[in-house]
Amino acid sequence: MRYFSTRGAGPVSLDDALRQGLADDGGLFLPERLPRFSIEDFTGCDSVQDVAAVLLEPFFSASALEAELAQVIAETFRFELPLTRIDAADGTADLLELYHGPTAAFKDVGAGFLAACLTRLEGDPDAPLTILVATSGDTGGAVAAAFDGRPGMRVVVLFPEGRVSARQEHQLTCWGDNVLSLRVSGAFDDCQALVKAALGEPGLTAHYRFSSANSINIGRLLPQSIYYAHASLKVYRERGQQPGFIIPTGNLGNALACIMAREMGLPIGPVILSTNANRTISDYFDTLEWLPRASLETLASAMDVGNPSNMERLRHLLGDAETLRERIGVLSVPDEAIREALRRDFSEFGFATCPHTATATYTWRKLDPALRGDEHWVLVATAHPAKFETVVEPLIGQTVPLPAELAEILTRPSRAVDVEPELDAFVARLREHFA
């Protein structure tokens, strides 16, 4: 399998696409074609690991990692990704819980997979690879945890000052010497722009051996497609029905992974994106004009993205806005609606959800009753509510217990370095930390 940039560069191997993160022409890598599967191809595949082995095999053809794919899968999918039935006044659905990994967010899957792959490809202490990751909350913590202490691997996490929760910031800043945490004076889009600018400088990239762990890296998308494949097969086998998915999204990586699984033939029905008050995607569907803008600060902070980079992949895969809105739904959910959903979720489900997951539950409740009743819906729960206790707990009137892994992380000392959103300042911090 070869990989091409959305802007035409290539082909490269999977191994080089993983190493580079961003293509030389500034585009994002996609496989030359998506393999097609039938439901029968997954006969006997009951576990997430079984599904992963079948779905990933074509992507790893001719890769140096092909013989180690089973070990990569085992290392990645070592925690539960359960479907939980929810009963509410508006009907019944399933909640796909993606927050049982080491940093209590769905990003643990993609970050763990990428770390398992790159460590095997590039784990040379004498010539370390430097992973750059811009984060609006959860990605950076997951990547730092996945690469922490790995030989031949360095990580630079860039996060926006004052725009992540206190617990999120702790997760971004409590790791070993091979992780540099940069608190950027700006928004997530400034962090992402710095990463792209650094990757676009050939001299810098060669010196530090840059790669990326954002969802611009194809190594993040491939494993995320697995849990959509597994969940859809489980529902289909139980109900004889292709489930629809409602997915909270900011940079579009998680949603794109679901759409890729559907394009590969998995039994997935309608896909609806739930965004927060950052309306770039929903406005694109309404006006047919792509108008990126500065991101707004919202309760669902990990989705505060004004210029979602994976839209470039989505358009390359499916087509322009007119085609996209025929294939995908979208709803923008403002903060007050998130608060309403958090209260209702706790009252009706008997447990708390996080602000990002609440955009999905709100969207589900806003569906036309006929559509909500005719389809079986899977709502994607992207993070544990304990990461957002200052938002959730006042609304539900109770303390949200900490998962054990998150509680352990919060006991560690943390450190961060402040930086202006300028490439020269960023490079200076790199030189200071990684002499």
Residue 184 included in any domain = no
The residue type found at 397 is G
Residue 138: pLDDT band by 50, 70, 90 thresholds? confident
Integer Cα distance of 249 and 29 in angstroms: 20
**For position 179, what pLDDT does the model report?**
96
Query: What average pLDDT does the structure give for the chain?
Result: 94
**For position 240, what pLDDT does the model report?**
95
Q: Where are the beta strands (DSSP E) in 151-235?
A: 153-160, 179-184, 210-212
Integer Cα distance of 164 and 241 in angstroms: 39
Is residue 144 within 8 A of residue 107, CB to CB? The reply is no
* Tokens at 7, concatenated: 């802007």
* Tokens at 117, concatenated: 């792959």
CA distances from 349 to 85, 238, 299, 343, 363 (A): 9, 22, 21, 10, 16
Integer Cα distance of 76 and 63 in angstroms: 18
Residue 310 included in any domain = yes
Please state which of the ranges 73-82, 125-134, 238-247 shows the lowest mean pLDDT. 125-134
Structural domain range at position 82? 72-106+219-406
Contacts of 217 (CB under 8 A, 6+ apart): 17, 18, 21, 114, 211
- The count of domains in the chain is 1
The residue whose two tokens read 């039935």 is 85
Each residue of 330-339: pLDDT tens digit?
999 999 999 9
Residue 435 included in any domain = no
Each residue of 366-408: pLDDT tens digit?
999 888 888 999 999 999 999 999 999 999 999 999 999 899 9
Contacts of 122 (CB under 8 A, 6+ apart): 19, 129, 152, 153, 209
β partners of residue 432? none
CA distances from 141 to 35, 175, 179, 239 (A): 32, 9, 11, 37
Residue 351 has pLDDT above 90, yes or no: yes
Mean pLDDT of 139-143: 89
Cβ burial of 387 (10 Å; 0-12, 13-18, 19+) is buried
The torsion angles phi and psi of 239, rounded to 5 degrees, stand at: -120, -10
Residue 94 included in any domain = yes
Integer Cα distance of 396 and 398 in angstroms: 6
Residue 137 has pLDDT above 80, yes or no: no
Mean pLDDT of 346-372: 95
**For position 168, what pLDDT does the model report?**
86
Q: Where are the beta strands (DSSP E) in 343-390?
A: 377-381
Is residue 230 within 8 A of residue 217, CB to CB? The reply is no
The residue whose two tokens read 């997530």 is 188
Residue 302: pLDDT band by 50, 70, 90 thresholds? confident
Each residue of 197-233: pLDDT tens digit?
998 899 999 999 998 887 889 999 999 999 999 999 9
Integer Cα distance of 224 and 214 in angstroms: 13
Residue 286 included in any domain = yes
The residue whose two tokens read 């802007």 is 7
3-class DSSP assignment, residue 88: strand
**For position 215, what pLDDT does the model report?**
81
Cα atoms in the 13 Å half-sphere on the side-chain side of 394: 4
Closest CA to 284 of 319, 248, 254: 319
| CB neighbours of residue 159 within 10 Å | 27
Each residue of 155-198: pLDDT tens digit?
999 999 998 888 889 999 999 999 999 999 999 889 989 998 99
The sign one gets for the Cα dihedral 141, 143, 147, 152 is negative
Integer Cα distance of 119 and 150 in angstroms: 7
Instruction: State the DSSP code for 215.
Output: T
**For position 216, what pLDDT does the model report?**
83
3-class DSSP assignment, residue 1: coil
Residue 318: pLDDT band by 50, 70, 90 thresholds? very high
Residue 162 included in any domain = no
Is residue 113 within 8 A of residue 223, CB to CB? The reply is yes
* Tokens at 6, concatenated: 């959305």
Cβ burial of 127 (10 Å; 0-12, 13-18, 19+) is exposed
Mean pLDDT of 283-307: 93
Residue 395 included in any domain = yes
Residue 273 has pLDDT above 80, yes or no: yes
Residue 144 has pLDDT above 90, yes or no: yes
Residue 328 included in any domain = yes
Residue 342 has pLDDT above 90, yes or no: yes
CATH number at 380 reads 3.40.50.1100
**For position 142, what pLDDT does the model report?**
92
Is residue 218 within 8 A of residue 3, CB to CB? The reply is yes
